[in-house]
Amino acid sequence: MGNAGTVLLWDEKQFHKIGSSTSENLRAVSWNSRGTIALIAGNQGTLLKYSDKRVEAVGDCRANLRRISWKPHSDQALIASNCFAEEFIPSPNLFSYEGETHSVSSLNEGRADLIGVDWHPSGMSALLVGYDVVWHNGVISNYNGSAVTPIAFENRRVYPVAVAWDGRGDLAAIATATTQAGIGKGVI
């Protein structure tokens, strides 16, 4: 996946270019646990579903979509997003994809760009990371299946950009970045 809507499939031997209906830059791809559906997310609300050797657009998202995380042993995925579309038009920053109905629904709105998301291995909750676009503070939140709750942490000049749980669910690693080179340090 990549720029100008490019979708590539690797079969352990060679790449195959898969036609897509978009020319938007694509940012993330993730397979469900059975390997039957891949979601591909990108700019301008682009969300594509790859299944049965076909790519089709799904959902009605507006802002840049950042990351995808499938709930363990399920056909539900969370999609993290920027909170503004185009010229500061408010947009949901968290979406849910339901594999049974191939539908997308918004779960949260706020002033944080959500950049990373990862379900806990139990499937009971997910961690969300990003930054508040007004105050320029980092954001770490918990999604419990119905609500997003912030988690307090020292967040000055620290932007969480990626999150991943270990396989047991004992620890989550959160990678951070800074807005300007040479000012602060990214950490895990």
pTM equals 0.89
Closest by alpha carbon to 104, among 113, 116, 91, 115?
A: 91
Q: How far apart are CA 122 and CA 138, in angstroms?
A: 26
Exposure string (b/e) for 114-138, b if CB count within 10 Å is 16 or more? bbbbbbbeeeeebbbbbbbbeeebb
Instruction: Kindly state the average pLDDT of the residues 160-168.
Output: 96
Q: How far apart are CA 163 and CA 111, in angstroms?
A: 19
**Is the pLDDT confidence value at 11 over 90?**
no
For each of the domains in the chain, give its residue range(s) and CATH number, in order of start. Answer: 3-177 (2.130.10.10)
For every residue of 154-178, DSSP letters joined together read --BT-EEEEEEE-TTSS-EEEEEE-
Amino acid at 188: I
* Token reading at 185: 């340090």
Per-residue pLDDT tens for 30-71? 999 999 999 999 999 999 998 888 888 998 898 999 999 999
pLDDT for 9 equals 64
How sure is the predictor about 88, in pLDDT bands with cuts at 50, 70 and 90? confident
Q: What average pLDDT is seen over the chain?
A: 87
